């Protein structure tokens, strides 16, 4: 009995001593690593053998909880021996390792909560604490200090790297970017929560001041003097009597491993400092995770890039193909050897660069080029055509003309066809077109010997087209600008047969009149029918052009001199035909030849086609093999006699103006009325 009596008070005393001790222990603890810790874990949280508390791994939409197993008595109605208080002090070391560098999960929070039953809560932005319907409700009685690593605009997050005070909901009452105040440097230094570096957070609440201080720093540093957040808050409205304290973390579509390395808590007074040296090591996952992260990064970021790259390459391939796209049809097979690839022509002309532009005429632009494989110099004429119809015949004709061989013709080498475009490849004539020599002061003047040789050459070329080939080829556009000079200043006729393109052309309703005003025979402007005679007429105008050094029509001249034929004829009538010679020759010419050329020019310009000589006769006159007949002393035969509309037509256009269709009389009238 005595033992019982003596033992009972002992037991009571023991009880009275141990219970407060137990409470005292519960209200103050420190874990430098969690080896022996008896934490309540939930979600996917676990404690590693080395004492590392892992709240989440990098699985999606996960939560992890770790709570101190016993509730902490915060309010008055406690049986604790301690004075009732809301004050507390805690600090913990954490590390957040995102799966993808800089792109982490939602973060973690130190939480004070009346219950650890979070079955209705969701992960992601609610951090496993709330759901969409109870987020923010005062009945939650939850205080959380969040380390937020994702920007949730709907939660009014400031950034993806901040510390926030959450009262009853994840819309922070107050938050600040993750920084610490450096006493040495006297300024705030940014911290990257997702850096994976161990960091420490201090949370202190002073009931008397009703002030909540939150301080952040690297784990290796001691607590900075200045807190990151210092927020007045009355926790008596939030906290209940009995509360659980612990951690919660959540991942979403983006994930991080959330770790707690150590934790110190104290309900009465400053929490004890953690011993950083005793904290567990983070898994050497970082490198592996880094690599894995890199792989994922490559998959998530680089893969779309690769796709974009492939798309771009593909697109550029298509564009390239489009760029070099040609039209080839079965019937062209036989012309294979004459066919040039557009790509080669494109490269040869440096992409049809303006620098390579030799000139632009009625049929299109001409570019200089050098064939990449052979270094052969070429001229490429781009002729636009909008019809499929007729192209076959035209190409056939062009190809057959490619068989024309004459030293006074510009050799056609081949062709290429694209949508709406025909490219003709010619020998390159290094000295360009004759008109430049006649009218451009930049080019050297041609002496009479050169001029006469060119005239003979062109006549020979035209004769070949008219009479010496298997079929009659009508040039249709003989003029100085279509005569090209090779390196030895031989005249070569270019552009032959091109006018035929318009014969094969789209619109049979319109008569296509192709040629150049001033060189058009009167009957041609009436009928639109090209013959060898119309070529002879143009050759006559061309002869006068070369001899007189001026264009067939020059509107700026005295009225009697505007039309070259009229003027030369007048000179002849006055018995002074040599007056018409080009002053730039300065009298240096062979008189007989000059006279012959001027007279022959007039004869070829006869208004009656049948009165004109043939090219063979022209050749004979030029060679002195035949004597030139006397010219009829009748202005009706030359120039002035040419039908009125033709004269008016000449008058109404500037010289050497190419047209592709003859205006009707009424349009000539309107041109005359507006122009004069």
Ligand X SMILES: *[C@@H]1O[C@H](CO)[C@@H](O)[C@H](O)[C@H]1NC(C)=O
Give me the residues that bind ligand X (CB under 6 A), please: 44, 57-59, 120, 131-134
Decide if 183 is catalytic: no
3-state SS, residue 42? strand
Dihedral (Cα; 625, 628, 629, 630), 10-degree rounding: -150
Q: Which is nearer to ligand X, 133 or 277 (CB)?
A: 133
Q: How far is residue 640's CA from residue 657's CA, in Å, rounded to a whole number?
A: 20
Q: Which is nearer to ligand X, 59 or 281 (CB)?
A: 59
The neighbouring-strand residues paired with 177 are 162
Structure tokens at 120: 């209705």
Q: Which is nearer to ligand X, 242 or 447 (CB)?
A: 242
The neighbouring-strand residues paired with 384 are 421
Task: Tell the burial category of 225 from Cβ atoms under 10 Å away from its Cβ (0-12, 13-18, 19+).
Answer: exposed
Using CB atoms, what's the residue nearest to ligand X? 120
Q: Which is nearer to ligand X, 133 or 633 (CB)?
A: 133
What are the φ/ψ torsions at residue 365 (nearest 5 degrees)? -85, 150
Task: Tell the burial category of 645 from Cβ atoms under 10 Å away from its Cβ (0-12, 13-18, 19+).
Answer: middle
Q: Which is nearer to ligand X, 247 or 569 (CB)?
A: 247
Any binding-site annotation on 443?
no
Structure tokens at 449: 């010997």
Q: How far is the CB of 113 from ligand X (least distance, A)?
A: 11
Q: Which is nearer to ligand X, 258 or 476 (CB)?
A: 258
Complete DSSP assignment for 372-409: TTT--EEEEEEEE---STTHHHHHHHHHHHHT---TTB
Q: Which is nearer to ligand X, 74 or 126 (CB)?
A: 126
The neighbouring-strand residues paired with 553 are 563
> CB under 8 Å to 504, separation ≥6 — which residues?
387, 389, 390, 391, 393, 394
Dihedral (Cα; 549, 554, 559, 563), 10-degree rounding: 70
- Half-sphere exposure at residue 362, Cβ-oriented, CA atoms within 13 angstroms: 24
Q: How far is the CB of 36 from ligand X (least distance, A)?
A: 22
Complete DSSP assignment for 53-116: EEEE-S-TT-EEEEE-SS-EE-SSS---SSPP---EEEEEEEEEEESBTTB--SEEEEEEES--
Write the DSSP symbol of residue 470.
S
Q: How far is residue 67's CA from residue 112's CA, in Å, rounded to a whole number?
A: 9
CB distance 550 to 582 below 8 Å: yes
Q: How far is the CB of 128 from ligand X (least distance, A)?
A: 12
Q: What Å distances lie between residue 141 and 178, 236, 243, 376, CA to CA?
A: 26, 10, 9, 90
Q: Which is nearer to ligand X, 64 or 164 (CB)?
A: 64
The neighbouring-strand residues paired with 265 are 29, 90
Q: Which is nearer to ligand X, 137 or 303 (CB)?
A: 137
Q: Which is nearer to ligand X, 25 or 132 (CB)?
A: 132
Q: How far is the CB of 298 from ligand X (least distance, A)?
A: 18
Q: How far is residue 421's CA from residue 382's CA, in Å, rounded to a whole number?
A: 7
Q: What Å distances lie between residue 521 and 403, 475, 512, CA to CA?
A: 29, 13, 15
Complete DSSP assignment for 176-211: EESEEEETTTTEEEE--GGG---EEEEEEEETTTTE
Q: How far is the CB of 62 from ligand X (least distance, A)?
A: 7
Neighbours of 375 (CB within 10 A): 8
42, 166, 435, 477: the catalytic one is 477
- Position of tokens 């409700």? 137
Q: How far is the CB of 57 from ligand X (least distance, A)?
A: 4
Task: Show which residues are catalytic.
Answer: 477
Which residue ranges make up the annotated binding site? Answer: 382
Annotated binding-site residue numbers for ATP: 382
């Amino acid at each position: 009995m005595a033992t019982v009596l003596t033992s009972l008070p002992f037991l009571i005393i023991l009880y009275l001593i141990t219970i407060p001790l137990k409470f005292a222990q519960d209200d103050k603890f420190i874990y430098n690593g969690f080896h022996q810790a008896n934490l309540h874990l939930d979600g996917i949280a676990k404690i590693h053998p080395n004492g590392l508390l892992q709240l989440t791994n990098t699985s999606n939409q996960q939560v992890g909880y770790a709570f101190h197993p016993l509730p902490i008595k915060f309010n008055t109605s406690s049986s604790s021996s301690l004075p009732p208080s809301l004050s507390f002090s805690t600090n913990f070391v954490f590390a957040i390792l995102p799966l993808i560098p800089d792109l982490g999960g939602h973060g973690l929070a130190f939480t004070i909560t009346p219950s650890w039953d979070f079955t209705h809560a969701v992960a992601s932005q609610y951090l496993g604490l709330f759901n969409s319907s109870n987020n923010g409700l005062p009945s939650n009685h939850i205080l959380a200090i969040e380390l937020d690593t994702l920007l949730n605009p709907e939660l009014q997050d400031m950034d993806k790297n901040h510390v926030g005070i959450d009262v009853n909901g994840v819309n922070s009452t107050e938050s600040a970017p993750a920084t610490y105040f450096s006493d040495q440097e006297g300024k705030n230094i940014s911290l990257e929560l997702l850096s994976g570096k161990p960091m420490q957070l201090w949370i202190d609440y002073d009931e008397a001041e009703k002030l909540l201080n939150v301080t952040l720093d690297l784990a290796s540093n001691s607590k900075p003097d200045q807190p990151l957040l210092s927020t007045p808050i009355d926790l008596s409205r939030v906290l209940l009597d009995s509360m659980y304290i612990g951690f919660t973390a959540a991942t979403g579509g983006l994930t991080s491993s959330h770790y707690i390395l150590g934790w110190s808590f104290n309900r009465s007074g400053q929490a004890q400092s953690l011993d950083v040296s005793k904290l567990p090591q983070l898994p050497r996952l970082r490198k592996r995770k880094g690599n894995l992260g890199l792989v994922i990064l490559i998959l998530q970021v680089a893969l779309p890039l690769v796709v974009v790259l492939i798309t771009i390459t593909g697109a550029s391939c298509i564009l390239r193909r489009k760029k070099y796209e040609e039209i080839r049809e079965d019937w062209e097979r036989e012309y294979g050897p004459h066919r040039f690839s557009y790509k080669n022509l494109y490269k040869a002309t440096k992409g049809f660069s303006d620098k390579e532009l030799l000139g632009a005429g009625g049929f299109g632009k001409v570019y200089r080029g050098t064939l990449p494989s052979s270094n052969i110099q070429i001229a490429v004429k781009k002729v636009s055509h909008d019809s499929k119809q007729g192209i076959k015949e035209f190409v056939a004709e062009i190809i057959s003309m490619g068989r024309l061989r004459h030293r006074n013709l510009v050799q056609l080498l081949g062709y290429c066809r694209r949508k709406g475009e025909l490219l003709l490849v010619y020998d390159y004539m290094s000295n360009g077109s004759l008109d430049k020599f006649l009218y451009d002061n930049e080019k050297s003047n041609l002496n009479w010997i050169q001029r006469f040789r060119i005239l003979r050459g062109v006549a020979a070329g035209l004769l070949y087209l008219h009479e010496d080939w298997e079929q009659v080829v009508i040039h249709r556009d003989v003029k100085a600008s279509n005569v090209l000079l090779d390196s030895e200043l031989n005249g070569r006729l270019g552009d032959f047969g091109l006018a035929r393109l318009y014969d094969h052309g789209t619109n049979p309703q319109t008569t296509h009149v192709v040629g150049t005003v001033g060189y058009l025979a009167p009957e041609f402007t009436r009928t639109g029918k090209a013959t060898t005679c119309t070529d002879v007429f143009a050759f006559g105008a061309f002869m006068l052009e070369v001899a007189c050094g001026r264009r067939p029509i020059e509107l700026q001249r005295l009225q009697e001199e505007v039309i070259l034929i009229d003027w030369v004829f007048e000179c002849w009538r006055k018995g002074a035909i040599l007056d018409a010679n080009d002053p730039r020759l300065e009298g240096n010419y062979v008189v007989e030849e000059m006279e012959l050329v001027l007279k022959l020019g007039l004869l070829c310009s006869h208004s009656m086609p049948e009165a004109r000589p043939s090219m063979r006769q022209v050749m004979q006159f030029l060679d002195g093999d035949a004597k030139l007949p006397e010219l009829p002393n009748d202005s009706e035969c030359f120039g002035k006699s040419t039908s009125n509309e033709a004269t008016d037509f000449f008058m109404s256009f500037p010289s050497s103006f190419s047209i592709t269709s003859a205006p009707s009389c009424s349009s000539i009238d309107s041109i005359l009325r507006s122009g004069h």
